[in-house]
């Protein structure tokens, strides 16, 4: 096989290769010929999304209609997700910021986790109608229990004040991760939150492979990344402060707090816990869309998983 077909060549290397084949030409001429033939240096473009679920568009329409109904009745709608995990310490953080000329901030050459303080796991709960959010910064593991606790903290800090007469709650989430549609622990811990709130909680996920459309991504996380660009995340306190200081021209408000709870991954959920859920699948894609109804005190006592994070509302 020809190396030339499978190797990224510079114009100088191409000129040398042509010379070996008996064609004396300069690298300048090679570049000119390439441009004349319609070639240019180009990077890859992420446009191929792979196989799409046949009900992708239908789920988007269903989700959009649910959001409209909740907003129309002045009931809360939140978009949730986990932001990219960040190494905490003297590590490079992409982007640039204003500093005295010739005095860039020094960071480690290599991003070895062992040289840092730990790893920050920001989980955002974004209020779609009010353009405000709570970001719960975890320190251990991204689990379903952590995801539900993050929503619980949003309710305690913002939700119950903004919606004192709420009759229901809609959660828009990705189809995978710590709040995945097939994750048993997510549903069990969310049922415990539903029992505490005393109102039905509806979950409508984005279709598989469409997490980039999640509103928390482009209305919250993108601005957090802009706010801390070029700043090494030296400590967990710095992470919380930078997230909490994020604003936009549209009026975004963010509360951030640290969650030092030790969350255990791989929690096993028994079949009897699943049967005890007051979960009603929707007619359209009940495997994706469902509503949890609050249980009585007696019902919740018998089946709730032991949890370190079920703080008092």
Cα distance between residue 219 and residue 128, in whole Å: 9
Residue 5 has pLDDT above 60, yes or no: no
Provide φ and ψ at 156, rounded to 5°: -70, -40
Q: What is the DSSP string of 110-148?
A: S--GGGSSEEEEEEEEEETTTTEEEEEEESS---HHHHH
Cα distance between residue 102 and residue 296, in whole Å: 65
Residue 300 has pLDDT above 70, yes or no: no
pLDDT the model gives residue 297: 75
| Helix, strand, coil percentages for the chain (3-state, nearest 5) | 35, 15, 45
Confidence of residue 302 (pLDDT cuts 50, 70, 90): low
> In this prediction, what percent of the chain has a pLDDT beyond 90?
80
Structure confidence by residue, pLDDT tens digits, 198-209: 999 999 999 988
Domain boundaries, the chain: 8-36, 56-303
Structure tokens at 131: 């353009």
pLDDT the model gives residue 1: 42
CB 193 within 8 A of CB 201: yes
Fold of 56-303: Nucleotidyltransferase; domain 5 (3.30.420)
């Amino acid at each position: 096989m020809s190396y030339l077909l499978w190797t990224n060549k510079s114009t100088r290397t191409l000129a040398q290769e042509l010379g070996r084949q008996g064609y004396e030409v300069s690298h300048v001429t090679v570049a000119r010929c390439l441009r004349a033939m319609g070639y240019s240096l180009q990077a890859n473009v992420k446009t191929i999304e792979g196989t799409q679920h046949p009900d992708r568009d239908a789920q988007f329409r269903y989700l959009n209609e649910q959001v409209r109904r909740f907003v129309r009745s002045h009931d809360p709608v939140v978009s949730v997700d986990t932001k990219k995990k960040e190494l905490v310490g003297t590590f490079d953080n992409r982007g640039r910021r204003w500093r005295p000329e010739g005095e860039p901030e020094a960071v480690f050459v290599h991003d070895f986790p062992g040289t840092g303080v730990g790893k920050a796991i920001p989980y955002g709960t974004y209020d779609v109608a009010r353009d405000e959010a709570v970001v719960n910064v975890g320190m251990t593991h991204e689990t379903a229990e952590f995801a539900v606790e993050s929503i619980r903290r949003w309710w305690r800090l913002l939700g119950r004040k903004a919606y004192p007469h709420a009759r229901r709650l809609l959660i828009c989430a990705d189809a995978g991760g710590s709040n995945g549609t097939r994750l048993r622990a997510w549903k069990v811990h969310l049922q415990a939150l539903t029992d505490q709130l005393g109102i039905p909680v509806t979950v409508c996920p984005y279709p598989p492979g469409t997490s980039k459309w999640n509103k928390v991504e482009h209305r919250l996380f993108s601005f957090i990344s802009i706010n801390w660009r070029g700043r090494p995340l030296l400590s967990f306190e710095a992470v919380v402060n930078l997230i909490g200081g994020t604003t936009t021209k549209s009026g975004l408000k963010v509360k951030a707090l640290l969650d030092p709870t030790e969350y255990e991954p791989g929690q096993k959920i028994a079949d009897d816990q699943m049967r005890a859920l007051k979960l009603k699948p929707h007619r359209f894609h009940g495997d994706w869309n469902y509503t949890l109804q609050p249980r009585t005190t007696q019902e919740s006592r018998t089946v709730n998983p032991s949890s370190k994070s079920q703080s008092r509302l």
